[in-house]
Amino acid sequence: MLRESGVRLALKEVGLIDVCRRAGFKSAGSGYKIWASQDDFHADLLRHAAEPASEAGVNALSELVDVLGHGSGAFAELVRLAATTQIAQISDRPDYEVYLALWLERHADPEVARLLREADRALLEGFAGVYSAAVAAYDREFVPPFTPDMLAVAISALSEGMTIRLGITPDLVPSPLPWAPDAADSPAEWHLFATSVWALVDMMTRPRTRTGDEAPAEAPAGTGDQNIGPGGGDASGSTAQVNRPE
């Protein structure tokens, strides 16, 4: 019974008029200019709850790739900053808990299951595209049989698990650790989630294999050749700024 009357029932208790009042609308009934009925409003509310800001997360990572992939930082630094951004965004979103609660109801409500499935596929497709662009920007390739889609699924599973861990027993998650993927690099502060993501990325990708007279692709400016090495190059610096190797 708890599964059958969980979050879906709670969402129906959210009144459109109450929402309009909290939003500061002059007329409490202004919402009916957007939704014809409470049922229409609740249907949109359910769709919103099933989408944990996937587009915003994908866009943020895409912008980071654009910046780091065309001027500064090494590949390991890109992974570190991207992973740190991702776990911070998902951990700070209160509606993620609603998303997880909906997940528990997927067996009892086919509509909830459908919405979650569609949102999840869109999320993974978006991240797969960003990861593919990042790998290409640093002249790397995926090691068969791995693909951008597989990396997106693996990182998504890691982020969701880490978010739950941070919510239940945050004391078990250490503060950012001074670490570098390559012993020759200066240590930087790595979140435990970021080190886990790096392990996946380092396993699933490699410097791009060349054949014949194919010329090497130009490395992102300011990074030298170290950004495409097995260790990912320089990972020094803080989470607050992009590192620029000397």
161-190: average pLDDT: 93
Whether the Cβ atoms of residue 127 and residue 152 lie closer than 8 Å to each other? yes
8-21: average pLDDT: 80
Q: Work out the pLDDT band at 184, boundaries 50, 70, 90.
A: confident
The pLDDT of residue 154 is above 80: yes
Strongest mean pLDDT among 71-75, 145-149, 223-227:
145-149
Q: Work out the pLDDT band at 155, boundaries 50, 70, 90.
A: very high
Report the pLDDT value the prediction gives residue 238, as an integer from 0 to 100. Answer: 37
Report the pLDDT value the prediction gives residue 215, as an integer from 0 to 100. Answer: 60
Report the pLDDT value the prediction gives residue 242, as an integer from 0 to 100. Answer: 40
Residue with tokens 């208790």: 13
The pLDDT of residue 34 is above 70: yes
DSSP SS3 for 46? helix
Which of 42-56, 146-160, 174-188, 210-224 is predicted with the least confidence, judged by mean pLDDT?
Answer: 210-224
More confident residue, 86 or 8: 86
| Helix, strand, coil distribution of the chain in percent, nearest 5 | 55, 5, 40
| Cβ partners under 8 Å of residue 126, min gap 6 | 54, 55, 58
Render the burial of 186-204: b for 16+ CB within 10 Å, e for the rest. eebbbbbbbbbbbebbbeb
Whether the Cβ atoms of residue 158 and residue 79 lie closer than 8 Å to each other? no
Q: Work out the pLDDT band at 14, boundaries 50, 70, 90.
A: confident
Report the pLDDT value the prediction gives residue 204, as an integer from 0 to 100. Answer: 98
More confident residue, 172 or 110: 172
The DSSP result for 196-211, as a single string, is HHHHHHHHHEEEPP--
- Number of C-beta neighbours around residue 68 at 10 A: 25
Rg (CA), the chain: 22
Report the pLDDT value the prediction gives residue 152, as an integer from 0 to 100. Answer: 96
Share of the chain above pLDDT 70, in %: 77
Which of 99-108, 188-197, 237-246 is predicted with the least confidence, judged by mean pLDDT?
Answer: 237-246
More confident residue, 20 or 50: 20
Domain 53-209+217-228 indexed as CATH 3.30.70: no
The pLDDT of residue 4 is above 50: no
Give pLDDT tens digits for 68-124: 765 445 899 999 999 998 888 777 676 777 788 888 888 888 888 998 999 899 989
Cα–Cα distance between 148 and 204 in angstroms, integer?
9
Compute φ and ψ for 105, nearest 5 degrees.
Answer: -95, 0
Whether the Cβ atoms of residue 233 and residue 245 lie closer than 8 Å to each other? yes
Give pLDDT tens digits for 37-67: 988 988 888 888 777 655 677 888 888 888 8
Domain borders along the chain are: 1-49, 53-209+217-228
Distance of CA 175 to the CA centre of its chain: 20
